Each structure stands twice: as C-alpha cells, then as structure tokens.
Structure 1
Amino acid sequence: MSFGSPNNPYGQPQDPQQGQPGYGYPQQPGYQQAPQGVPPQQGYGYPQQPGYPQQPGYPQQGGYGYPQQGYGATPPYANWGQRFGGTIVDGLVFLVPYILVIVGRNNGAIRAIGLLAVLGVAIWQLIMEGRTGQTVGKKALGIRLVKEATGQPIGVGMAFVRRIAHILDSLACYLGWLWPAWDSKRQTFADKVCGTIVIRSN
C-alpha cells in the first residue's frame, strides 16, 4: 500500500497552509496558534492587578498659632516699643485700684478694698495672658505671648512662672527688660528661660 494512496488516511498530502496536528490529545476546536512575532502572554496564576495610583502628598502644615508667609517663615516678633507700650497700659489698669490703697492709707477698710482690687486685677490679667496670650495692654498694642515651640498660649501656670522669672530681667541694672531691643527673637531673659516669645497678632 502506498502512502500516497487515497485509502490510507496517513498518506494524505499535507496542505502547506495548515500546521501539523499535534500528537496526543486532538486539537481543541476554536484554538488558534499564535502567529509568529506576537509577544508571549503573561504567565499563569493570578491576573496581575492594575497598579494603585500614587497618592498625592499631604500639603505642608502651617505653623502653630501665628501666621506664616511661607514654609519656614519667621514669626512676626513684637518690637521693643510694642512690648513697652503694652506694659505701660497694663500699669494704668492697676492704677485705678491702687489709688484706693493710697487714699485709704489712714482708713483700714478702704485700704483693704484697694488691696483686694489690686490682687483681683493681677489674677484677672494673669488668667487672660495664660489662656489667650494677651493682657489688656498686649491686646491694646496688638501683640500676644505664645510658646515658642508651638505658637499657642502658655497656660495660666506657666504665665505665673514667667512673672516670677521677670526677676532675672531686673538684675544687672534692668538689662533684661531692654534685651528685646536688639535680640534676634525680641526676648527678655524671662522669655529665654521659659521658652516664650511675644508676637504681633494683627
């Protein structure tokens, strides 16, 4: 029997346009051989997940408590004239109750009322400065006291400690009170010890 016989199925002439059938299992219908030059498909396994879009960076937070003109901007320190003016106004606030002390030097009741009034004003000013950073004088001059590290009010307790620390400013011929005139951060000695600064609030 000839391989070219029409009765021999293995002797059928091959069509050059068709590929050789694979050995083993018969070729599945619908399967097409990938043409040459096509890049190989991805490997088996779980399908590749699309990449997550990159999250935009969080914006830089501004400073605490005081206005910023840009990242790393210098706080708007109050100058020596503003600080001195605030101290003068605070002194005038104490003047009214102190007049009662002077007038009542020969009258125990009036003098006691005057002393209580002075103490009340002092406590009120201290609470205001600790909670808001401003006494009456600081508010009038548009300045306020804040913690240098956070830019926030320092609290009543720390405000009291700073008042005591002003003793350092009175030493050496009151040099500490004048120090803000040329200091780079406009601080007194008490400010440096307590870590506070006085800034413009408007």
Structure 2
Amino acid sequence: MSNPYGPPPQQPGQPQPGQGPGYGYPQQAPQGVPPQQGGYPGQHYAPYPQQAQPYGGYPQQPGGYGYPGGMGPTVASMGRRFGARVIDGVVFGVVFGILIAAGAISAFNDAKDCDPGSAAYDSCMSDAGSDFATQFGAVLGAFAVISLLYEWLMISVAGGTLGKLAVGIRVVDAETGQKPGVGAAFIRWIIPMVGGVLCGIGQLLVYLSPFWDNTGRQQGWHDKAAKTMVIQRSNN
C-alpha cells in the first residue's frame, strides 16, 4: 500500500533511492588511514608508483649488456682505465718485440754473408741495411694492423680488450648499454691513432680527455665521437 503522505524527506548527505552508498558525495577515508593524493575526486586510491629511471634515462635491455634491475651503470674509474692501458701496452710490447727481433735476425744474417775482404763488401752491407729498413717498415705496418684488429675487433665483439677485461671494465654504447658494434669501435680506435701522428701528443691528450668531461660519464673525445662510454663490468 502506498504512503498517502508521500516519501519521507531526505536528510542532507543521505543517498537517494536507487543510488549506491555515498553516490555523488565525497567518500571518507577509513579511520586512521591518511588521505592519499591522486585518483579521482572523492576516491582514495593510491597514486601509481613512479618507476625509477635508469642511468641517463637509458632504456632497459632484456639481458646481454643491458643494465640489470633498473640500475644504471657504474662509470669505470680512470685508475682502472689506466691499468687496462698498462696491460694492453705489455701485450703490444711483447708482440712488437717479437716482430722487431725477427726483422733484426734476418738483417743480421744478410750482413753476416758479406765478405769483409771482397770489393763488394760496402755494397753488400748497404744492401743489408736497406733490407733492414724495409723489414722495419714491414714490422711497423704489421704492428699497425695488429693494433687495429686487437682494439677494434675485441671492443666490437667482446666489449673490451684483454686489459679492460682483466680489470673488469668494458666499452658500451652510451645510449643502449649494448656492445658498441664495429662502426663505433673503429671510430673509437682511429681518433687516438690520428692524434698519435703528432709525436704521440695528440694521442696522449685523447686518453687524458676523460678528466675534462663534465657530464659525469668520463667520456674521452674518442668516446664522444663514437657515442660510447666505459663502465665497470657487472658481476651478473
């Protein structure tokens, strides 16, 4: 039976018939729970958590040389980089010494065949000297090729030379954290070599240039040109 007097008056804040509880009205936070920021008006949803950005905003890579766990890379110290250069220098010194010794032995054998009592002795010794100069030039050429293949291919394929791998550092693409690739590795190698033409002064300045980098990545001029950086190898 319908109410002849009509519906009862609604109290302020009381929901209308057919509406859910509190519809159109601000919801109250539960007792003892501080109000949260964000969400829709009247709701107390917690805001979406902000994800930490990796080093320099670099995207995370699935495995490989990507930065694990959302953490940025640890920039390799100049002490480690110097230690890597020392180890590589020892490797190059051994190879260069072997090549020079082989050329010197060959030239010595040529000079030993010259007869001091013959009239052609001077000519023979001159020829032996020319042969040594030719062999020395060949040694320098072979050394340059070995240097290119050693630095270029090892960095592009393995991410570091024997020295770098020994001290726990590697070269990566500064934007992706991946291996730099053959193109970037070649640029990184050729710039110090061009600088070495000026009595080695330019090469030394290139290797010291990370000290003047104000980006916090300690990138040398060759790193900036190749868009690479040197980081400490992860134990993962």
TM norm structure 1: 0.58
**Within the alignment, does 1:153 sit opposite 2:179 as a pair?**
yes
> How does 1:39-188 map onto structure 2 within 5 Å?
39=18, 63-64=60-61, 65=65, 67=67, 74-106=72-104, 107=106, 116=142, 119-120=145-146, 122-166=148-192, 167=194, 174-183=204-213, 184-188=216-220
**Within the alignment, does 1:193 sit opposite 2:225 as a pair?**
yes
Secondary structure, counterpart of 1:153 in structure 2: coil
Secondary structure, counterpart of 1:199 in structure 2: strand
| Residue 126 of structure 1, CA deviation | 2.2
The percentage of aligned residue pairs carrying the same residue is 30
Aligned to 1:8: none
Secondary structure, counterpart of 1:63 in structure 2: coil
| CA distance, structure 1, for counterparts of residue 146 and residue 232 of structure 2 | 27
| Residue 95 of structure 1, CA deviation | 2.1
| CA distance, structure 2, for counterparts of residue 186 and residue 97 of structure 1 | 30
Could you report, residue by residue, the CA deviation over 1:25-84 in whole angstroms, capped at 9, with x for unpaired residues?
xxxxxxxxxxxx9649xxxxxxxxxxxxxxx99x778634354675xx653111111111
The 8 Å contact of residues 103 and 139 in structure 2, kept in 1 or not, is answered as no
Query: What is the identity, as a one-letter code, of the residue corresponding to 2:206?
Result: G
Query: What is the identity, as a one-letter code, of the residue corresponding to 1:187?
Result: Q
| Residue 100 of structure 1, CA deviation | 2.0
| CA distance, structure 2, for counterparts of residue 144 and residue 117 of structure 1 | 24
| Residue 105 of structure 1, CA deviation | 2.9
Secondary structure, counterpart of 1:146 in structure 2: strand
CA RMSD across the alignment? 3.9
Secondary structure, counterpart of 1:197 in structure 2: strand
Distance 1:91 1:195, change over 3 A: same
| CA distance, structure 2, for counterparts of residue 194 and residue 117 of structure 1 | 23
Query: What is the identity, as a one-letter code, of the residue corresponding to 1:147?
Result: D
Distance 1:164 1:198, change over 3 A: same
Query: What is the identity, as a one-letter code, of the residue corresponding to 1:191?
Result: D
Distance 1:126 1:172, change over 3 A: closer
| Deviation larger for 183-192 or 97-106 | 97-106
| CA distance, structure 2, for counterparts of residue 195 and residue 94 of structure 1 | 26
Higher alpha-carbon Rg: 1
Q: Gaps spanning 5+ residues in structure 1: where?
A: 1-16, 19-36, 41-55
Q: Gaps spanning 5+ residues in structure 2: where?
A: 3-15, 20-47, 108-130
Secondary structure, counterpart of 2:206 in structure 1: helix
Distance 1:172 1:135, change over 3 A: closer
| Residue 168 of structure 1, CA deviation | 5.1
Distance 1:118 1:93, change over 3 A: farther
Aligned to 2:33: none
